[in-house]
Structure 1
Amino acid sequence: MSDFLIDDELLAAIDMGSNSFHLAIARVDHGEVKKVASMSEKVQLAAGLDEQKNLTEAAQQRGLACLARFVGRLSSVQPNRLRIVATNALRQAKNGHEFIQRAAEILPKPIEIIAGREEARLIYLGVSHTLANSGRRLVIDIGGGSTELIIGEEFEPIHTESQQMGCVAYSQMFFANGEINSKNFEKALVAARKELSGIANTYKAAGWDTVVGSSGTIKACRQLTINMGWSDAQENLTREGLEKLKDKLLKFKHVAEIDFQGLKEDRRAVLPAGLAILYAIFEVFQIDKLVYSDGALREGVMYDLLGRFQHEDVRDRSVQALLGRYGADPRQARRVVDTAQKLFDDVAPQLGFNTDDRDLLRRAAYLHEIGLAISHSSYHRHGAYLLQHSDIPGFSQIDQNYLSHLVAHHRRKLRQDDKAEVLKVGASKLLWLCLLLRLSVTLNHSRSDEMLPAIELAVLDAQQWQLSVSGDAKQWPLLVADLHDEQVQLKHWDIDLTIQSEQFIS
């Protein structure tokens, strides 16, 4: 973390995009950028570029008025913790310096006009800190004046490109009078394909595991396909859904006629152009599905300001932030983690677990006591609630639901209706992980660094588990009593647990 930033201090970013201006204010929370306020306004600076590439007075006034409103929200942010970046519209504007000088009378910090590839790098940084690391990504951000495409792994971009195509620019070029027809749409498609042709071979040769989209255009297209039932089960934007959206859009003759449920008024005019660009990207790069990310340029700017370039999984940073935020005992968490990983490794082959399952159990083991920050009574339920309803960077709603169930069932009574719910949410694997966490917590009830007896867990079949404890069980009377209690609870979920030692079999 940068020297001048400590926990609970604020930092902010203003992203002066070609279509919209965005303000984000965040606080530093255990090394994470936690957004606390945001504003967004459609300024359409790119629409204010005349034939000589000069910003009109009207466009400048729209931009200056928006910045003045943003400044009214920045009184708690010190200037050295603010960064203001401008993108394609001001890159293109011949009189951009005039606008910057006028804005300097309003803003506490100078505007930085960033190059296209720098914009792409920061977008990737924002996305990579918002989504979990999952191999190599192709990140797509369709702005008002340009479109950024980045291939990267973890927090490092490998290829960064900024293409001269955007939803505002293409609206002016191909849908200037608001008319929609297949001819105009095809012209926009051809132009976008041509723009992409210069990087297509390089990008396809590099390859990627997942495709991630950010920006208003992609957000709107994804939401429309969800509303119409054309997304997949994970609410991802698919090629088939995009095709259906295109066909439905082309039934309208003018942007004023578009009446898609959930489409914002200010997005309607630029939807045909944005959809054409996105459709061309899906075609050229042969994309089948795209995951949406809320992280974008302004988030990347804040992480860049914070100086976070470590190669680490955002989910693990989030876990450590939660552990610190709620004051959970890190030593006890580590004991339970170590035991959980040992038990997991014992039974992984028999139960068909994978590395994702191991990571899920490890993170739940770290977080199993965060509910103590609220109350000791039913703290497992409090912890489950926090994990279910908190905004945790890197975790999907599904992931948070899994964590919530693991923490909810790590202690106290197990009921048959709970079992049914766990199976519904995550099938047998989630149920087994719940039981592994329970056993790990039970084996560490002493909260002591004293060496536990050697233990080994075996799965004889899906309903028959055997826990072997080395040595004479009489040396561990409390542990044996706790394990007896667990035998009773696991039976409620139809698991027969046998406990073995040299002097004891139960």
Structure 2
Amino acid sequence: MTRRKYPHQLTGNNELTCCALALATYRGRMSELMNGRLRMPRTAPENFPLIAAIDLGSNSFHMILAKTDQGEIRVLERLGDKIQLAAGLDEQRQLSEEAMQRGLECLSRYAQLITDLPQGAVRVVGTNALREAVNRDTFIQRAEALLGHTVEVISGREEARLIYLGVSHNMPAFQGNRLVVDIGGGSTEFIIGQSFEPLIMESLQMGCVSYSQRLFQDGKITPARYGQAYTAARLELMRVEQALQRHGWQEAIGASGTVRAIGLAVKSAGLSNGEVTLEGMTWLKRKLFKLGDVDKIDFEGVKNDRRAIFPAGLAILEAIFDAFGLQQMVHSEGALREGVLYDLIGRLQHEDVRERTVSALMERYHVDPEQALRVETKALEALQQVAGDWDLQEEWHQELLVWAARVHEIGLDIAHFQYHKHGAYLIENSELAGFSTQDQQMLALLVRGHRRGIPKDRFSGSGSEGEKLLRLCVLLRFAILFHHIRGNREVPEVRLLAKAQQLSIRFPQGWLENNPLTVADFAQEAEWLAKAGFNLLVS
């Protein structure tokens, strides 16, 4: 297994909308400027007949093992376990050893089904509990050792995007907008979308496990406690009510176990056919007040391990109904884990949403596409020459280098002075669809280090993968320096030779003597790299 360690766990809060027009523009320019250029090979989808997704949720862990068939998935195995990871978070946001053990025991069972699947065929995503946990790296490292695959922590809006993808593939075709709601253990996601495209995505800090810990920890159900949970949810909802209502919708769908359990409880009372209704929730609420204790909950369809979080889930859902004026909500079996699978298929079939995200970033911050392409091409050529010697042969090495080459100049839209820092900040604090939190941090680090001094402490702080990131940064800097003089001028073929902490660049004989600016550039670069413990030789 190749396991990544990541520097500086940062999260963002600014929305970035993917722009298909920007992607088409950039690809068009690529085609015009780079006929027949070489790329390192990607894994073909037919090489992954089996794929799997694991959702490390705040309440439950889920896994799907599926077979791919013409871009569709045929589910072979579904597993789900109530772990309540969010219940293990204390006031300092430390995840308890007991909660970690519950999760790891579950993952040890899941690991048996994916032990023979190759890298790239399995995607593991962590949601709100791992976003919140300050010691998440401890759990992630142990989980990766068990599973043999990388664990990604995704942002709230990325979680929302994947939920919508899972719902839209699971529900019948529908004309008009859909409101999708997923009440999780620690957060609740809201998406309005049309067909397979999300239009707006939001994630709020309210969940059935976290609210249960705060208000129903001893299992007692009272109107006062229920009212506190309802009010807390309404206050959270005020942040997104107007934005969602401006888009409007014609159908409301719930994608979580909470909505499914409430729908089944309402059905058992003969008040619906499985959908959630206002009348049904009113009946459930009265019934809960009469029971007075979670241990007495005996609604049909509500499993024993969901009793403790049922009142909080009902309070949150009632607040959602009232905030948006809903009359009913249907349930979708498709959710985050299915969305992860379809997103994985898209990556394997070169329909990667991350490509659209990067193109949108370039468009938003007015990146010069010709210069970006020149740098990308030279960086890939350099990578091909040194990949073996520098152990940079995995697909993510190429992807990260390409994306960094495309967006390294976004900070120029803010100011020229320290634009590499502006660019890194923008990447760290934007919502980048398709990117995990870790991948986003690594991309920001390459952009931060692409010129002037290299923040060696941030690279060295990420363990063995930090060395690979530093090498990618050196290759990016070389490509940028090589095209310091912009334009489609004729450039020489150069040879790169790599050792552990050294890169040798050999120009054609006599070329450097006729290009003193390049000589000066690389002399200065050698000084910058020396401060980072790297030796650059130019001849």
Aligned partner of 2:94 among 54, 57, 66: 54
Q: Secondary structure at the match of 2:63?
A: strand
1:316-331 correspondence to structure 2 within 5 Å: none
Amino acid at match of 1:230: L
Q: What do residues 32-83 of structure 1 show as CA deviations (whole Å, max 9, x unaligned)?
A: 1111101111111000011211001101111111111100111343231100
> Equivalent residues in 2 for 1:38-53 (5 A)?
38-53=78-93
Q: Partner residue of 1:25?
A: 65
Whole-Å separation in 1 of the counterparts to 2:224 and 2:318: 15
Whichever residue aligns with residue 289 of structure 1, its letter is: Q
Contact 1:10–1:77 (8 Å) recurs in 2: yes
1:400-419 paired onto structure 2 within 5 Å: none
Q: Which residue of 2 aligns with 1:275?
A: 314
Instruction: State how 1:349-498 maps to structure 2 within 5 Å.
Output: none
Moved more, 70-79 or 202-211: 70-79
Letter in 1 for 2:198: P
Question: Are residues 1:118 and 2:158 paired?
Answer: yes
Residue 293 of structure 2 aligns with an amino acid whose one-letter code is H
Is the Cα contact below 8 Å between 1:8 and 1:29 reproduced in 2? no
State the 1:239 CA deviation: 1.5
Q: Which residue of 2 aligns with 1:407?
A: none
Q: Please give the alpha-carbon distance, in whole angstroms, between the structure 1 residues aligned to 2:93 and 2:71.
A: 42
Match of 1:174 among 205, 210, 215: 215
Cα deviation code 1:76-103 (max 9, x no counterpart): 4323110000000000001111111222
CA distance in structure 2 between the aligned counterparts of 1:89 and 1:10, rounded to whole angstroms: 28
- For residues 237-256 of structure 1, what are the structure 2 equivalents within 5 Å? 237-256=276-295
Q: Deviations over 1:331-388 (max 9, x none)?
A: xxxxxxxxxxxxxxxxxxxxxxxxxxxxxxxxxxxxxxxxxxxxxxxxxxxxxxxxxx
Within 1, Cα distance between the matches of 2:132 and 2:180? 23
CA contact (8 A) 2:45 2:345 kept: yes
Q: Which of 128, 131, 146 matches 2:168? A: 128
In structure 2, give the amino acid aligned to 1:86.
G
In the aligned structure 1, how far is the partner of 2:180 from the partner of 2:258? 14
For normalisation by structure 1, the TM-score amounts to 0.59
1:34 paired with 2:78, answer no
**Cα distance change, pair 115–92 in 1 and its aligned pair in 2 (3 A):** same
Which residue, out of 110, 128, 145, partners 1:88? 128
Deviations 1:186-239 (A, max 9, x none): 00000000000011011111100100111110110011111111115xx32212
Contact kept in structure 1, 2:93 and 2:132, CA below 8 Å: yes
SS in 1 for 2:290: coil
Which residue type is aligned with residue 193 of structure 1? R
Instruction: Give the TM-score taking structure 2 as reference length.
Output: 0.56
**Which of 197, 211, 230 matches 1:189?**
230
| 2:114 and 2:147 in contact (8 A); partners too | no
Distance 1:31 1:97 in 2: 34
Partner of 1:265: 304
Moved more, 189-198 or 104-113: 104-113
Render the CA deviation track for 1:409-444: whole Å, top value 9, x for unaligned.
xxxxxxxxxxxxxxxxxxxxxxxxxxxxxxxxxxxx
Partner secondary structure for residue 270 of structure 1: helix
Aligned residue type for 1:53: R
Instruction: Tell me by how many angstroms 1:143 deviates.
Output: 0.5
Distance 1:131 1:8 in 2: 26
Residue 247 (structure 1) shift: 1.6
**Structure having the higher Rg:** 1
Q: Which has the higher contact order (CA 8 A, sep 6+)?
A: 2
Aligned-CA RMSD value? 1.8
How big is the shift at 1:104?
A: 2.1
- Give the secondary structure class of the aligned counterpart of 2:95: coil
Separation (CA, whole Å) in 2 of partners of 1:66 and 1:288: 38
What corresponds to 1:12 in structure 2? 52
- The whole-number CA distance in structure 2 between the counterparts of 1:193 and 1:133 is 31
Superposed, 1:206-221 pairs within 5 Å as 206-221=247-262
1:164 deviates by: 0.3
| 2:344 equivalent to 1:305 | yes
Distance 1:51 1:291 in 2: 35
What SS is found at the alignment partner of 2:182? strand
- In 2, are the aligned partners of 1:126 and 1:300 still within 8 Å (CA)? yes
Contact 2:52 2:64 survives alignment (8 Å): yes
- SS of aligned partner of 2:84: coil
The percentage of counterpart residues that share the same residue type is 50
| Pairing 1:156–2:197 present | yes
- Say which SS state the counterpart of residue 128 (structure 1) adopts: helix
Cα distance between partner residues in 2 of 1:291 and 1:4: 37
Q: Equivalents in 2 of 1:189, 1:209: separation in Å?
A: 25
Given that 2:268 and 2:299 are in contact with CA atoms closer than 8 Å, whether structure 1 keeps it comes out as no
Q: Is the 8 A contact 1:19 1:44 kept in 2?
A: yes
